[in-house]
Amino acid sequence: MNAVRALLRKDLLLELRAKESVPAMALFSLTTFVIFHFALDRNTVAGSLASGVLWVTLLFAAILGINRLFVAEREQGGFDAFMLAPVDRTAMLIAKACALFIFLTIVELIAVPAFAFLLLEGSILPALPGLIAVLVLANIGIAVIGTLSSAIAVQTRARDLIAPLVALPLLVPLLIASARATQPLLLSGGALSVPTKWIAVLGLYDLVFALLSYAVFDFLLEE
């Protein structure tokens, strides 16, 4: 855990100083919501349309952070230094996933209120408890898959292209479950409860891919 804390602290300080990922992700989300606001030619959206707009935007914003996740290690020799250190290799997986989870959370603190202001009718406050639960579970899945995909792509020349090609197909089940779980929260008549089955799907997805990533990450670093 000391190695995880050290790596996570390094990533957070690097982002705080360089501001390469979070501002780009937040700006992309805000710009996309503005585009939807005018392109859909309607004052508000609700239900499945609102849920789809929200999750497609957040997913593509996450890709921007995924592309940059391992760039510093690749360009500044961080991989070599980490491989020489007497620590568990999976410490980097946990630290990077935690960093990406934090980045996503910060972006959503900006993006969700903007989404509600630009595209929703009425207050989003009644839907917040359920929405927060879905966001947390989805962020865990995106963080795990994003870390694994970024670790694969960073070793290639076309990493900005490979990372989305690897991550997006794996994230389709998560996108479907998140959108279906969020749909009742964004109905025009008021927020309903989140369907339990979709919460279970998200939890199972997170568990399966967390175990899979843990199993193969050491091999990826060695390669």
Over residues 89-132, the pLDDT tens digits come to 788 889 889 999 999 999 999 999 999 888 888 778 888 888 99
The total number of structural domains that make up the chain: 1
Q: Report the alpha-carbon distance of residue 135 to residue 185 in Å, rounded.
A: 12
- pLDDT of 214 higher than 70: yes
Provide the angle, in degrees to the nearest 10, between the axes of the packed helices 128-153 and 90-119: 130
- pLDDT of 75 higher than 70: no
Q: Report the alpha-carbon distance of residue 123 to residue 129 in Å, rounded.
A: 13
pLDDT at 173: 92
Please name the residue ranges forming H helices in 69-194: 71-75, 78-84, 90-119, 128-153, 159-182
Q: Cβ(143)–Cβ(101) under 8 Å?
A: yes
pLDDT at 71: 75
pLDDT at 176: 93
Structural domain of residue 212, as residue ranges? 2-222
Q: Cβ(142)–Cβ(67) under 8 Å?
A: no
Distances from the Cα of 73 to the Cαs of 6, 145, 154, in angstroms? 14, 18, 9
Question: What does the pLDDT look like over 137-191, one tens digit per residue?
Answer: 999 999 999 988 888 887 777 777 888 888 899 999 999 999 999 998 888 766 6
- Which residues, other chains included, contact 41 with Cβ-Cβ below 8 Å and sequence gap of 6+? none
